[in-house]
Structure 1
Amino acid sequence: MSVTREGYVISGRTGLPFEEVVERARSLLAEAGYGVLCEIDVAAKLKEKLGVEREPYVILGACNPPLANEALGAEPDLGALLPCNLAVYRQDGRTVVAAVEPETMLSVVGNEKLDPIARRVRGDFERIVGELTGGEE
């Protein structure tokens, strides 16, 4: 599987249609115990607010309630970094999936109690991105 983990994202690319990847992302997140708390159609918002045309781009704000509860118990201010985002967009004729890299994101907090939670979320998101992209580069 060829999912990349660089800096602040876990990502992959696929030739599958954008709409199909977004629908599968919702399903895979749900199967892994994550609810989609918000969905932002970035392309539509930029067109509405700025008159800018761009390729399709959607951000799914995902949350796993038991993990969020545990993390907030260890670090109440963590809500400022939630939910975990998964972006799906088109670029150069391909569909790209990019998820937040939770270990990198939570490292700024400096609370070791969050490490096992970050590892669990990272594993979930690596698997989800891999399934969505078929491990393609």
Structure 2
Amino acid sequence: MFHYTVEVDKSLDEAVSALEASLKNEKFGVLWSLNMKETLAGKGVELDGDYIILEVCNPHEAKRVLEKSPLVSYFLPCKIVVYKEDGSTKVGLPKPTELIKFVENEELQAIASDIEHRLIGAIDSIK
């Protein structure tokens, strides 16, 4: 599976707030937050679902992986999505270990595994 997704017992906004706090514990910050429904509505397109896309980054980890391969920039910053599906709030991310396979570098795979573990921990702590 290319992603990790869980259901949380929170509203969309509560999940985003809790996630931002949890990410700080792992030294990740939210660089940017995109409310997809509002953004598309501003372009005249109606979207039924609610999606908040967070671009998150740990600057030290970003520097570390970029120094090993500029191709990693294609995957940065990391994305975490909070969305509604069938009345439930879900939180998920594409797994860094799956994305980094495209770069074919064992050293980067180990770093991606650590980052993935930390991001999943941040998500799991808000359940």
Q: TM-score range by the shorter chain?
A: over 0.9
Match of 2:76 in 1: 82
Cα shift readout 1:39-95 (whole Å, capped 9, x = no counterpart): 111111121224314232101101111111110110023212100000001111110
* Corresponding residue to 2:18 among 16, 24, 34: 24
Shift of 1:112: 1.5
Match of 1:3 in 2: none
- Checking the alignment, whether the CA contact within 8 Å between 1:61 and 1:85 is kept in structure 2 is yes
Alignment of 1:20-99 (within 5 A): 20-99=14-93
Cα shift readout 1:97-131 (whole Å, capped 9, x = no counterpart): 01120100111111112012111111112212211
Match of 2:121 in 1: 127
Shift of 1:35: 1.4
Q: Aligned with 1:33: secondary structure?
A: coil
Runs of 4 or more, structure 1, over 6 Å off, are none
User: 2:97 aligned with 1:103, yes or no?
Assistant: yes
- Checking the alignment, whether the CA contact within 8 Å between 1:10 and 1:125 is kept in structure 2 is no
RMSD over aligned CA atoms reads 1.2
Distance in 2, Cα, partners of 1:123 & 1:97:
15
Q: Identity, % of aligned pairs?
A: 26
> Aligned residue pairs: how many?
127
Distance in 1, Cα, partners of 2:55 & 2:62:
13
Distance in 1, Cα, partners of 2:47 & 2:30:
26
Distance in 2, Cα, partners of 1:89 & 1:39:
13
Distance in 1, Cα, partners of 2:47 & 2:73:
32
Normalization by structure 1: what TM-score? 0.87
Q: Aligned with 2:46: secondary structure?
A: coil
Q: Aligned with 2:114: secondary structure?
A: helix
